Each structure stands twice: as C-alpha cells, then as structure tokens.
Amino acid sequence: MSVEQSTAAKVMAAKRGDREEFGRLLEQYRGYLLMLGHRYLSQRMRQRIDPADLVQTTFLEAQRDWAAFRGSTPAEFTSWLRHILKNNVASAVARHITTQKRSLDREVAAGGVGTSSGGDWLAQQPAGTSSPSRRIVRAEVAEQLLEALHGLPETQAEAVRLRYLEGQTLAEIVDRMGKSDTAVAGLLKRGLAKLRSNLGHQWEEFLP
C-alpha cells in the first residue's frame, strides 16, 4: 500500500469514528504543519510565537471540528488542516500586534517615547485614536493582511512581512534575503500593489 493509499484509509477510518486512527492521522501531519508554521512566521516573530504551539492548537481544533469536515481524500484533509493553521497563525500575530500597540499606548500615556522603527504600520495607523474599537479593527486588519500575504509570491510576501509587520529596514531585508536594494524595493512595490488589489479600498488607510 502506498503512502497516499495509507493516508486515504486513515481518513476514511477516522470518518467512521475511529479516534485512534484519527490521532495517528494527525501525527502524520505534524512535521508538515511545523514546516508551514516556520514558513508563515518570520524569524523574529518565531521568537515570540512558537510554531509547535500553533500546530498543537490546530490539532485540538481539528478534533473539535472533525464532524464538520466534508472531504474524503488526503488532499482535502491536507487543505483543511492548512486552513486551520493559517487562521491560527493570523490570530496569533494579530494578538501580538495588538499587545505591542497596547504597550506603546501605555508608554505614551506615561510620558515615554515609543521605540518603533516605523515599519509596523498596524501599530501606528490610523492616528488619532487608540480606542478599544480601533484596536479590534487593527486585529481584524492583521488577520486580513496575513491571509492576503499567503496569496502573494513567497519572496514578495517575505519582503512585505519583514518591512511592514516586523519593521526591519531596507538594509536589513537586503541582508536577510540576499538580494540587491533594487530587487527588494521591487518586491515591496509589487507586493503592496497586489495587497491593495486583493484587500480593496476599505483597507487603504492601513496600508503604507
């Protein structure tokens, strides 16, 4: 029996209610999901968010929502798990960004000076209010932006994430990606243009 046939058999057994087989099926995907978690999170963000925790949360949600899974093939199961993981990554990053913004608000309220490099536009835009409702909007925007990033070519997504979610300078991104200044600038320009196209005008005030 091939690996694909074995996986298909596990999926069908799990759909029939075999919990042990479902557990083995999930474990089969742990390495794959860890790899995706590392890919979706930048190196700096991985210092704050553990991909292994996101994978474990994904497994728990998969167990909780298993009855809602309507697929029957390994490909459909893989896509379902990947979707759950992406949502968990987006939520974790949104919570991190919102927490950063609250810390910055406390510093400003205490008379301190923020230390942001200017790259994290979600923590700074739009100006003029830091109400709870605005913070919720920022969290929702973060999730929308992360989902949109997944639709970009990998190099564009990496450049945009490093510059505008992580706040790295152009020089740091050039060094990180091993590309020229011109190449990185082009990736950022095309990536932002694609984000604007995918997200629509309602998010324009949040984009640089």
DSSP calls for 13-60: HHHTT-HHHHHHHHHHTHHHHHHHHHHHS-HHHHTTS-HHHHHHHHHH
Q: What is the amino acid identity at position 18?
A: D
Question: In this predicted model, which residue has the larger pLDDT, 196 or 54?
Answer: 54
**What is the distance between the alpha carbons of residues 95 and 180, in angstroms, rounded to a whole number?**
33
Cα R_g (the chain), whole angstroms: 20
Task: Return all residues near 158 (Cβ < 8 A) that are at least 6 apart.
Answer: 42, 177, 187
**What is the distance between the alpha carbons of residues 77 and 11, in angstroms, rounded to a whole number?**
8
Given CA atoms 112, 115, 118, 120 in this order, what sign does their dihedral have?
A: negative
- CATH topology for 3-90 is Rna Polymerase Sigma Factor; Chain: A (1.10.1740)
pLDDT digits (tens, 9 = 90+) for 133-160: 444 444 555 556 666 777 788 888 888 8
Q: What is the pLDDT of residue 80?
A: 94
Give whichever of 60-64, 103-107, 161-165 has the largest mean pLDDT. 60-64
Own/partner long-range contacts of 156-161 (Cβ < 8 Å, ≥24 apart) = 156/187, 156/188, 156/190, 156/191, 156/194, 157/191, 158/42, 158/187, 159/184, 159/187, 159/188, 159/191, 160/187, 160/188, 160/191, 160/192, 160/195, 161/42
Give the residue range(s) of CATH 1.10.10.10 domains in the chain.
118-206
Q: Which of 162, 95, 163 is nearest to 135 (CA)?
A: 95
Q: Whats the size of the chain, residue-wise?
A: 208
pTM for this prediction: 0.54
Domain spanning 118-206 has what CATH number?
Answer: 1.10.10.10
**What is the distance between the alpha carbons of residues 49 and 104, in angstroms, rounded to a whole number?**
20
Q: Which of 30, 41, 46 is nearest to 78 (CA)?
A: 30
Give the residue range(s) of CATH 1.10.1740.10 domains in the chain.
3-90
pLDDT digits (tens, 9 = 90+) for 2-40: 667 788 899 999 999 999 999 999 999 999 898 888 888
pLDDT digits (tens, 9 = 90+) for 89-129: 888 887 776 665 555 455 445 544 444 444 444 444 444 44
